[in-house]
Amino acid sequence: MHQIAIPESDPILAEVLAAYDFPATLLGAVRYGQGHINDTFCVLCQPQEGDCVRFILQGLSSAAFPHPEELMENFIGITSYLREKVIANGGDPLRETLSLVKTRDGKDFFTDSNGKVWRLTPFIENTDCFQSATPELFEASARAFGRFQYMLQGFPAETLHETIVKFHDTENRFEKFVAALEADKHDRAKDIQPEIQFVLDRKADCSVALQALRDGKLPLRVTHNDTKLNNILIDRETGEGICVIDLDTTMPGLSMNDFGDSIRFGANHSKEDEKDLSKVNFDIELYEVFTRGFLEGANGSFTAAELEYLPWGARLMTLECGIRFLTDYLDGDHYFRIHYPEQNLDRCRTQFKLVKDMEEQFAEMAAVVAKYAK
């Protein structure tokens, strides 16, 4: 047994750390990363010889995830499946997928005295997590997210829990927008008629993906649902995306949504709340960079219909995000954190400008997919 230094200033953290049998002397835990949802700490242990050993400790947000046990069931199922695939491919399962450290009593996670669920994973060393992308990093992230789809194509997606119900249900997002518009609690609708009309004119678009799913055109897959660059660990030696992280929103979904959310996030050069819309432009070249990497990583695992709908994924994820910003503005800015009164309105306008650009270049977007489709 190693002597464990427990931080007395935080009794809950001390309780959680005491639940694990660390392989070396525990030096302590420090807050880590830029996430806003879970409580994340880097735990540091020092062996008698050699380098410091690190772990990531996360306390799951009960506000964001009201059923953390279901989330952990998803996490365990997905990472166990990926581990087997990585081993079968001759890879390194300790670097190419997340893995859990069991508690002293052999459990996959710990529930503290306040009912909060915590998990511990080994720190994947010699990797970086980036907040902004070069074209090379954007393509590396695309390959990693495409490979994530490829590796999980045989996983029974229907067995996963919905950790956030109706998360990418664009029809539901439209209905919530209409309800907020009709309520108009803060008398804001009269001043934003162009934005309101923009959404109303695209009611039919909001059903494109879900109708294709209902019609059996698109298969249900395991989807990550937060496919931003900072959810990929980039190997320092190779510059390649080695591990997909932040699996909390991984659940049943459509491949077009994972593709589309990355495009929404990465295929432009503007701030999310840019006021000057002349600076907000969809970059078809970055779209091609991501498409090339994503389809390379997916390695032919998508159906012809899925390939056809990928450009729709970009349009719909961007439209959905804009609708959510506008809905929150009408509701009084309760969901998204704002730093000035009309920030959510500015955010929705940038998304709608990107949607308009995509609509105008939709044929080119489809041609890019066809160019790299396997």
Distances (CA, A) of 359 to 166, 199, 319, 352, 369: 25, 14, 11, 10, 15
Whole-model pTM?
A: 0.93
Domains of the chain by residue range: 11-64+100-123, 135-372
d(CA 235, CA 241): 6
Q: What is the CA radius of gyration of the chain?
A: 22
From the list 101, 104, 112, the residue with the least C-alpha distance to 14 is 112
Q: What angle do CA 237, 241, 245 make, to 5 degrees?
A: 125
Phi, psi at 251, each rounded to 5°:
-165, 180
Burial 339-356 (b: 16+ CB within 10 A, else e): eeebbbbbbbbbbbbbbb
d(CA 190, CA 193): 6
**Four-residue CA torsion sign, 135, 137, 143, 148:** negative
Q: How far apart are the first and last CA of the chain?
A: 54
Q: Where do the H-state alpha helices sit in the chain?
A: 11-18, 68-88, 93-96, 135-151, 170-183, 193-200, 208-214, 255-266, 284-298, 304-331, 343-360, 362-372
Q: Return the pLDDT at 53.
A: 94
- Sorted by sequence, the CB contacts under 8 Å of residue 182 that are 6+ apart come out as none
Q: Check: CB of residue 255 under 8 Å from CB of residue 306.
A: yes
d(CA 17, CA 105): 13
d(CA 365, CA 285): 10
Burial 259-279 (b: 16+ CB within 10 A, else e): bbbbbbbbbbebeebbeeeee
Class of domain 135-372: alpha beta
Q: Return the pLDDT at 4.
A: 45
Per-residue pLDDT of the chain (374 residues; tens, 9 = 90+): 344 445 556 899 999 999 999 988 999 899 988 776 789 999 999 988 888 999 999 999 888 899 999 999 999 999 999 999 999 999 999 999 999 999 999 999 999 999 999 999 999 999 999 988 899 999 999 999 999 999 999 999 999 999 988 999 999 999 999 999 999 999 999 999 999 999 999 999 999 999 999 999 999 999 999 999 999 999 999 999 999 999 999 999 999 999 999 999 899 999 999 999 999 999 999 999 999 999 999 999 999 999 999 999 999 999 999 999 999 999 999 888 899 999 999 999 999 999 999 999 999 999 999 999 97
